[in-house]
Chains A and B, each alone.
Chain A
């Protein structure tokens, strides 16, 4: 029995759990735990390497699988040959949707596309999602609010991806410095640009790769999203309806 005169709510809580489990102390059965909670990085390295090799060797099959599964998940899917062609695709979409403002995140593919030097119609406003993009506001908090407002008033959000999962037609986005959480969420249209080397086979593969990153860097960052098509609901009469809180339209552009 663990007893002390001053127990915090936390200690009482955990004590109750231990008592319920019939445990007399905080000692744990390490061998039993290690069966499910192993921290051997060597083994993880091997698994991660196998994933990379497998995905590299099958890129073309994975692209086809990704396209099919993405269509099932209700993405609009296109494949273009180069970043330049991707820009042209954006222009076409902007015209078709009569979009006035574009919000983009600083994924490498968007830097390659160099949209700020692309000649859009003059009334289209192009905005980056980075603090430095709204540098006229020196106060961090003010620029944060400004960014939020800009996201809510944008017509199209343009992002790259960190991974694309062929098995399920999913884009994995990891918001961080230069990549806002809002670009793929708030505007009614989301366009995700996928490069070939970002395509991997399964959801399990992503978790293995991310876990390796955890072991290497000690942190996996604050946020990650798996996006599989547009926002949807079936909450009224179990009838599928597209576009509730997130984007109503989702475009996947495979570049390469």
Chain B
């Protein structure tokens, strides 16, 4: 997937002006976000679960080398193959080779964000292999030739009318009006692909080191199809997705599903442990697990950002975020949108590619509050902002405007010097007058335009708190 994060401002503005996207984004709050809240309320030990999960994740990430080797050993023990890919190209090349070795003509794919990092569909297309997304949302955006808008629900920005139009023009179906009809049409189109597919590709929600099992969480059943029908199954995961034992799965599944959609369980949890055994009735003859670094080791090497690798991709931070809910997923310009994307994208693609993202936040902390693993996203955003401007670990990518630097230096001195503060406020009260409309400071031009173009500031009060205190409050205090 090409990186468009540099164009955050332009793309965000476009989304804000698109009424269809705004309507669809509103639903995120009323559906996913509130459903999550209900599910959390119904889980009496939610906080304990979060703490436990965070502790386990921290442990695994701090011993990742060990767990990767255990996972590899267990999968090989069942006759599966494991490939460690340093980047997207290496992973793509490995998967293409498997496809060629097995004379694969048709691939069915279940949802995998990592495969979006790799631009895998495009790679298959170049090699003349048909690769079909089978999650309904992913199928829709594949037809539209777009990228996922949301981690959990990739096509939420599309209205049913747009989907209907896409089905007619790209999949050559009759015109369907209702959502059930459209869903039924997709079922028919994709069934045919499932029955013929030679290779199934899935992501990985969790990989269990102890057993070499991968866990897949779906509602539609497409991951079951991809892991049951084709001769070859390739699962792709970011290297951070490991949990130690089978018994940890209950905890993580509970957190993931509740945080993602508010369901107690999804329709299907599927657990794959290697290829089919000799006397199994069916299942793939070959099983491959591709474990991807693709920049994750850079995150791992930075203790201040390491906890972003605890993420289980539930999407709760997207639904909670006032910025995501206004600008939508495409503005972020790469695979992972929303609060967690503001950390992962700059780290995986390069700070310079996505230098606006860490600043596209109000630091309100809603993401931290809803995260099932308690990832402190706001803290890391501040760290990244600091990196971008001071450039201690990474090359400096942004320079502060000289005026802004001076202003903050001046602010620093003023706040420490009461007399100066008094004088400056008095001057400020006079200077602000031309820009006060309806009791707010609006649109100061030139150097101040960045602060006042899109938001109104409360004007400076003509009297300072000290003066008000002297006049009124002091006596009142005495009376009481």
B231 to chain A, nearest CB (A): 9
Q: Which residues of A contact B65 (CB under 8 A)?
A: 14, 17-18, 21, 23, 26
Contact A220 B135 (CB under 8 A): no
Contact B210 A37 (CB under 8 A): yes
Q: Which residues of B contact A149 (CB under 8 A)?
A: 195
Given contacts A16-B297, A235-B153, A241-B179, contact A220 B269 (CB under 8 A): no
Contact A236 B211 (CB under 8 A): no
Contact B220 A9 (CB under 8 A): no
State in angstroms the CA–CA spacing of A237 and B249 once bound together: 30
State in angstroms the CA–CA spacing of A32 and B66 once bound together: 12
The 3 nearest A-B residue pairs measured at CB:
A246-B221, A235-B137, A13-B84
State in angstroms the CA–CA spacing of A154 and B281 once bound together: 17
Contact B272 A245 (CB under 8 A): no
State in angstroms the CA–CA spacing of A5 and B438 once bound together: 73
A191 to chain B, nearest CB (A): 16
Give the residue of B24, B183, B274 whose beta carbon is less than 8 angstroms from that of A244.
B183
State in angstroms the CA–CA spacing of A221 and B293 once bound together: 29
State in angstroms the CA–CA spacing of A18 and B301 once bound together: 9
Q: Which of A176, A180, A224, A226 has the most CB of B within 10 A?
A: A226
Contact B282 A180 (CB under 8 A): yes
Contact A214 B210 (CB under 8 A): yes
Contact B213 A220 (CB under 8 A): yes
Q: In chain B, residues 249-304, which have Cβ atoms closer than 8 Å to a Cβ of chain A?
A: 249-251, 253-254, 261, 264-277, 279-283, 291, 293, 297-298, 300-301
Closest A residue, CB atoms, query B274: A222
A119 interface residue, CB < 8 Å from B? no
Q: Which residues of A contact B300 (CB under 8 A)?
A: 17, 20-21
Interface size counted on chain B using CB atoms at 8 A: 95
Interface residues of A (CB under 8 A from B): 9-10, 12-14, 16-21, 23, 26, 28-29, 32-33, 35-37, 72-73, 129-131, 144, 147-149, 152, 168-170, 175-182, 185, 202-204, 206-208, 210-211, 214, 219-239, 241, 243-247
A-B contact pairs, 29 of them (CB 8 A): A16-B297, A17-B300, A20-B298, A21-B64, A36-B244, A72-B264, A175-B281, A175-B282, A181-B227, A182-B282, A203-B253, A207-B250, A211-B210, A219-B277, A221-B273, A221-B277, A222-B274, A222-B277, A223-B276, A223-B280, A228-B265, A228-B266, A231-B267, A233-B219, A235-B140, A236-B182, A238-B27, A244-B183, A246-B224
Contact A73 B265 (CB under 8 A): yes
Q: Fill in one digit per residue for B61-89: 1 if any A CB lies within 8 Å of its CB, else 0.
A: 01111101100100000100001111000
Contact B32 A238 (CB under 8 A): yes
Q: Which residues of B contact A233 (CB under 8 A)?
A: 136-137, 183, 219-220
B180 interface residue, CB < 8 Å from A? yes
B229 interface residue, CB < 8 Å from A? yes
Q: Fill in one digit per residue for B331-367: 1 if any A CB lies within 8 Å of its CB, else 0.
A: 0000000000000000000000000000000000000
Closest A residue, CB atoms, query B139: A235
Q: Which of A14, A21, A129 has the most CB of B within 10 A?
A: A21
A218 to chain B, nearest CB (A): 9
Number of contacts between A and B (CB, 8 Å)? 256
Contact B266 A223 (CB under 8 A): no
Q: Which residues of B contact A12 (CB under 8 A)?
A: 86
Contact A245 B27 (CB under 8 A): no
Closest B residue, CB atoms, query A73: B265
B159 interface residue, CB < 8 Å from A? yes
Contact A207 B246 (CB under 8 A): yes
State in angstroms the CA–CA spacing of A37 and B68 once bound together: 14
B177 to chain A, nearest CB (A): 12
B459 to chain A, nearest CB (A): 42
State in angstroms the CA–CA spacing of A229 and B221 once bound together: 11
B228 interface residue, CB < 8 Å from A? yes
Q: Which residues of B contact A229 (CB under 8 A)?
A: 267
Q: Which residues of B contact A179 (CB under 8 A)?
A: 281
B225 interface residue, CB < 8 Å from A? yes
Q: Which residues of A contact B121 (CB under 8 A)?
A: none
B163 interface residue, CB < 8 Å from A? yes
Contact B64 A36 (CB under 8 A): no
Q: Which residues of B contact A228 (CB under 8 A)?
A: 265-268
Contact B27 A204 (CB under 8 A): no
Give the residue of A10, A148, A203 whose beta carbon is less than 8 angstroms from that of B195.
A148
Contact A175 B283 (CB under 8 A): yes
Give the residue of B253, B281, B297 whose beta carbon is less than 8 angstroms from that of A129.
B281
A32 to chain B, nearest CB (A): 7
Contact A222 B272 (CB under 8 A): yes
Give the residue of A28, A175, A226 whose beta carbon is less than 8 angstroms from that of B268.
A226
